């Protein structure tokens, strides 16, 4: 029996896909056979580079720039993706920012901006996509949470609150949309090797590795492969879950 994860014929939208985890997800989706709309807020050149890689894999790609916290831009992004690539089968809410500080020193604007991007953005993109999927009685939404949303982290109260909210939103959407054949799941990465974590002091990276049962930092492909599984027919009976991809850090 074949267990190959095949997304041939599907159209996916990945937010925050210009670099890092989002880029890896977009490329893994394309490698599995999907056409992919690549979103970012500011770096159009990075998105264009990802689209070029998607097209080199023999799939169609599309740059769709938008601020996911802006409802008008989100609605226009979804409309354009469907108009140019076809009906969305998969939406991956990955866009995110960090504005770290301890609560006593955190500017409320930094709290609001992180909540707006991670939580409001996931809500708006899911809402716009679900309206399309609802009529078709099919679709898959995958939201990026974090191990920080499951266990908290000093200096990241805004990020932890947003990512915990994403888990609650995922469960609620799964219950609301399941009757129409739409699956909604979340991924909760641990510490992943990205430019952000590469900038951490070596001592901090060592502490993270020591706290992780698998004794390593994950890769963007580790997250991307989990996303492709949740998007695939092999996960047809999986909804409302938050899948940790954290090397055991969240235990």
Cross-strand pairs, 185: 142
> Residue 210 is encoded by which pair of tokens?
């020591």
- What CA–CA distance (Å, rounded) separates 193 from 221? 10
Coil, strand or helix: which one is 244? strand
Quote the CA–CA distance of 218 and 186 in Å, as a whole number.
17
Burial class (CB in 10 A: 0-12, 13-18, 19+), 33: middle
Sign of CA dihedral 134, 135, 140, 146: negative
- Two tokens, residue 211: 């706290």
Which segments within 126-165 are labelled E, that is strand? 139-144
Active-site pick, 123, 159, 191, 229: 159
User: What are phi and psi for residue 34, nearest 5 degrees?
Assistant: -85, 150
In the annotation, is 159 catalytic?
yes
E-only strand ranges, 9-52: 11-14, 35-38
Q: What is the DSSP letter of 213?
A: T
Active-site annotation, residues: 159
């Amino acid at each position: 029996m074949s267990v190959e994860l095949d997304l041939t014929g599907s159209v996916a939208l990945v937010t925050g896909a210009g670099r890092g985890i989002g880029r890896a997800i977009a490329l893994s989706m394309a490698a599995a056979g999907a056409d992919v709309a690549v979103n970012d807020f500011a770096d159009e050149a990075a998105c264009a580079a990802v689209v070029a890689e998607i097209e080199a894999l023999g799939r169609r790609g599309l740059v769709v720039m938008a601020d996911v916290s802006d409802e008008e831009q989100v609605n226009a992004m979804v409309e354009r993706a469907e108009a140019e690539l076809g009906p969305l089968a998969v939406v991956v809410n990955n866009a995110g920012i960090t504005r770290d500080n301890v609560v006593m020193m955190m500017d409320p604007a930094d709290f609001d901006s992180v909540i707006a991007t991670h939580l409001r953005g996931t809500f708006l993109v899911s809402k716009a996509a679900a309206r399309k999927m609802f009529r078709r009685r099919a679709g898959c939404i995958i939201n990026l949470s974090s191990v920080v949303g499951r266990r908290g982290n000093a200096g990241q109260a805004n990020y932890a609150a947003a990512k915990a909210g994403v888990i609650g939103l995922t469960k609620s959407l799964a219950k609301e949309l399941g009757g129409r054949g739409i699956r909604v799941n979340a991924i909760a990465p641990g510490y992943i090797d990205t430019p952000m974590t590469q900038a951490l002091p070596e001592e901090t990276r060592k502490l993270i590795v020591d706290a992780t049962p698998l004794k390593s930092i994950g890769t963007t492909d580790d997250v991307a492969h989990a996303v492709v599984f949740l998007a695939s027919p092999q996960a047809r009976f999986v909804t409302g879950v938050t899948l940790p991809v954290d090397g055991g850090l969240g235990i």
